[in-house]
Amino acid sequence: MPDFRIPPIAPFAITFDAEALTFDPPGPTLTRRMSDLDGLFADRAAWENAVADDDPVVYTVVSTPVPEIERELPQSITTIHPGRTGGECWMTKGHQHPDHQGEIYLGLAGTGGLLMFDGERVEWVDMRPGTIGYIPPGWAHRSVNTGDEPYSFLAVYPGGAGHDYSWVLAHGMGRRVYRKADGSIELRDFSVAR
If binding is defined by CB under 6 A, does position 171 make contact with ligand PAN? no
Element (H, E) at 50: helix 44-53
Report, in Å, the least distance between residue 132 CB and Zn ion.
15
Report, in Å, the least distance between residue 78 CB and ligand PAN.
4
Report, in Å, the least distance between residue 1 CB and ligand PAN.
27
C-alpha 52/C-alpha 134 separation (Å) is 36
Residue (104 or 182) nearer to ligand PAN, CB: 104
If binding is defined by CB under 6 A, does position 155 make contact with ligand PAN? yes
Q: Among Zn ion, ligand PAN, none, what does residue 152 contact (CB within 5–8 Å per kind)?
A: none
Q: Are strands 132-135 and 75-80 parallel, antiparallel or unpaired?
A: unpaired
First to last CA, the chain: 57
Stretch that binds Zn ion, among 42-50, 57-65, 83-91, 95-103 (CB under 5 A): 95-103
Question: Are 187 and 123 contacting, i.e. CB atoms less than 8 angstroms apart?
Answer: no
Long-range own/partner contacts, residues 10-18 (CB < 8 A, 24 or more apart): 14/64, 14/75, 18/108
Binding residue (CB under 6 A) for ligand PAN from 81, 84, 95, 171: 95
If binding is defined by CB under 6 A, does position 41 make contact with ligand PAN? no
Question: Are 97 and 103 contacting, i.e. CB atoms less than 8 angstroms apart?
Answer: yes
Site for Zn ion, rule CB under 5 A: 103
